[in-house]
Each structure stands twice: as C-alpha cells, then as structure tokens.
C-alpha cells in the first residue's frame, strides 16, 4: 500500500459518521445536563451579582452586602438560611393579569393592604402559613418593599434581597432583614421541603427535561458546524428542523401549564423556560430532525461514483484585530453519469486543505448516500479512489 493510499484511507475515515450520531452521545448529554442542573440550582443566584462586599450583623444575624453600580445602584443582601423556596416582590400589572386569567394558587392572607401590594410566590405549606398568620412577618416584608427592595428570594439555602437605587436607611434594612430571618426560623427544616412543597419534584423534573433539550440543541450547533456538508440539500432539511422546533415550543409550555397551573411559581418557571427555549430549541429542532431522518430510514443505501473534473480555490482578504489576513476556500468539481429521481449530486463541493492537496483530477469520489426517512438524502460515507489504468 502506497503512502498516497494510506492518506486517502485517513481522509475517508474522517468523512464517516461522527460520535454525535451514536447512542453514547445521547447518554453523554443526559449525564452532563444532570450535572449542569445540579450546579446551576446551587450557584446561579450567588454568581449573578458581583461587586464590593461588606459584612454586617444585626440581632445576632450575619448579613453579606454586595454593592455595585451599572446604570444605577444595586445592593444585594445575602443571609445563609435553610428555609422554604419562595419569591417576594411588589405586585405588577402582569401579576394582576395572571391572577385574573389563570387559576394560580397565589397566597391570599386576608390582609387587603398586603395582598394588593405584595406578590408572594411559594408552594411551601409552612412558609405560607407563617405569612398568613403572622402580621409581624407581613409588616417586615411591606417595610422592606417600601424601602426600595425589588425582590426577596430564597432558594432553600440562602435569602437574597435585591435593592435598586441609592439606599438611605441602611441600618433599618439590616434590622428588618435580620428580623425576617428570625421569623423564618419558625418554619420546619428544609429537609422536609419535598413534603411541604407539593410542586418541588414537578419543577425539578421540568428543569431537568428542558436542560436536556437545551443541551441537546447546544451540542447540535457544534455538530452542524462540522457536518454542514452532510445533507445534499440543506435548505430543504432546515424546513423540517423548524417544524420540530415549533413542536417543542408547543409541547413544553403545555406541559408546564398542565403540571403547574395551580402552582404559585407558575410565572417564574414559565418565564425561565421560555428564555431557555428561545435560545436553544431551534437548534434542538434541527438536531432532532436529523436523528429522526436517520433512525427511521429503512431504504437501501445508494452508491454513486463521481469523477473529480477540476480543483480550485478562492483567496479571501479579511480583517481582524491583529490586522489583515488571507483565508482560502477549496473546492472540487464533480461529474457523474448516474441519475436518480430524488438525488441531486452537487457539481461543486467544498473540501478542506488536506483533501485538496491529496486528490487529483480524474480521481473517483465514491459516495454512499442514505435516502433518509424524511426524504432528505445525506452522505453516509465518502471515499476517494484512483481510477483504474486503461
């Protein structure tokens, strides 16, 4: 076997299906997504805000204050607290609209001044009972909101109180947050959150499922970047990708609505997942269309030979931060005498530098083409071979 033949075999191996087409790739996605979910649920909130950090103490409670300035002043007060999962904020027009149109299990204390002003989102039974029965806790929350608090959030491990604008009564805020923390000590330990919060498992499962799809979409970006020449007609295939992406967009909000329509955290979960869907689901739709097109394909493979009629390259002048540079694009021109009704072999195909330097005119490109379950033919394999001597 000559050196040229060895090189051709190496090129052929690089053109075969990649690891992303295998079942192992899907298992890898699943394991990695579980890891990402576990890390994000613990660390997202504490990484969102960075800035000057100071420490305070009030009523024996330790508070951490992180201050930074973007377009306005922001202050985030953090308290270690094993408590319920909840979100408290000033009631907005969107909250009023959702409360009227969707039958959410929003907390109503009977205190009209509090209920009309404050939005409490929690499914934790003991936390809700504390807010309902304890007027001191409600007064503390109302005072914090009046002092400029945008939101009070607890992820089960820490309390985050976010203030916008210049704080004028900082000592009062320290005192109120410490008293709020002490009030929460009446709640049973967070180890019972799965019992006290009936929607805890549902929300966690929805998060895992959506991160699975999101990661699947993210990995598909990498896959299609390296396998953009895998389909004979990529533009037609993209239409099916949009269809599957649309199905995802319909399916996930429907699942969230059916599973959480009575949950107080419905708006929060829906908003977070819609953002994730917009960013990643189109790519996930294309990837799913690709795998669906492949795995339901029971048609026989077609083997087509095409002669390399010509080789050419284009030199592009580009500019970067480091200065001007040149980029080369390499092409081969093909000709075949075999005709199929549903297969259109491209006459011009982009190749890499190694292939361009390794093949010659009149070489034969042997293509194994799968017809596709969705009738989108794709290259199963490509290999070059030298023409037989006359």
pLDDT 10s digits, 196-224: 677 778 888 888 888 887 777 777 667 66
Q: What is the pLDDT of residue 262?
A: 77
Cβ-based neighbours of 74, under 8 Å, separated by 6 or more: 49, 51, 67, 68, 162, 163, 164
Cα atoms found within 13 Å of the Cα of residue 360, Cβ hemisphere only: 6
Q: What is the pLDDT of residue 136?
A: 92
What value does the mean pLDDT take over residues 117-136?
87
pLDDT one-digit tens code per residue, 51-91: 677 888 888 888 888 777 665 667 777 877 766 888 888 88
pTM (2 decimals)? Answer: 0.58
What residue has token string 């009227």? Answer: 100
> 96 pLDDT band (50/70/90 cuts)?
low
Tell me which CATH code domain 302-385 carries.
Answer: 2.40.50
Residue length of the chain: 390
For residues 369 and 15, the model is more confident at 369
Domain boundaries of the chain, sorted by first residue: 17-40+197-295, 49-192, 302-385
For residues 226 and 176, the model is more confident at 176
């Amino acid at each position: 076997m000559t050196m040229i033949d060895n090189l051709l075999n190496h090129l052929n191996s690089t053109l075969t299906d990649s690891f992303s087409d295998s079942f192992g790739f899907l298992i890898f996605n699943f394991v990695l997504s579980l890891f990402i979910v576990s890390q994000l649920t613990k660390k997202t909130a504490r990484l969102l805000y960075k800035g000057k950090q100071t420490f305070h103490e009030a009523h024996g409670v330790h508070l951490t204050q992180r201050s930074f300035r973007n377009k306005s002043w922001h202050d985030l007060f953090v308290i270690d607290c094993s408590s319920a999962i909840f979100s408290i904020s000033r009631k907005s027009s969107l909250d009023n609209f959702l409360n009227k149109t969707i039958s959410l299990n929003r907390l109503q204390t009977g205190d009209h001044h509090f209920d009309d002003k404050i939005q409490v989102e929690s499914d934790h039974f003991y936390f809700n009972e504390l807010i309902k029965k304890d007027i001191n806790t409600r007064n503390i929350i109302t005072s914090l909101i009046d002092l400029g608090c945008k939101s009070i959030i607890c992820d089960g491990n820490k309390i985050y109180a976010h203030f916008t604008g210049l704080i004028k009564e900082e000592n009062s805020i320290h005192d109120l947050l410490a008293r709020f923390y002490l009030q929460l000590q009446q709640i049973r330990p967070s180890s019972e959150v799965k019992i006290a919060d009936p929607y805890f498992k549902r929300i966690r499962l929805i998060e895992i499922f959506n991160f699975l799809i999101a990661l699947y979409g993210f990995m598909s970006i990498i896959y299609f970047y390296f396998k953009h020449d895998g389909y004979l007609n990529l533009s037609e295939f993209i239409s099916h990708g949009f269809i599957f992406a649309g199905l995802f967009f319909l399916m996930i909000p429907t699942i969230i609505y059916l599973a959480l329509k009575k949950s107080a955290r419905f708006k929060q979960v829906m908003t977070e997942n819609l953002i994730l869907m917009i960013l990643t689901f189109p790519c996930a739709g294309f990837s799913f269309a690709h795998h669906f097109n492949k795995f339901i394909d029971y048609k026989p493979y077609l083997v087509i030979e095409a002669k390399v009629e010509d080789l050419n390259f284009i030199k592009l002048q580009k500019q970067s931060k480091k200065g001007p540079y040149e980029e080369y694009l390499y092409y081969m021109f093909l000709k075949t005498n075999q005709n199929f009704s549903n297969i259109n072999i491209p006459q011009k195909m982009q190749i890499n530098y190694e292939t361009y330097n390794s093949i010659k005119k009149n070489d034969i490109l042997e293509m194994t083409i799968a017809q596709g379950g969705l009738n989108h033919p794709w290259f199963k394999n490509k290999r070059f071979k030298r023409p037989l001597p006359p």
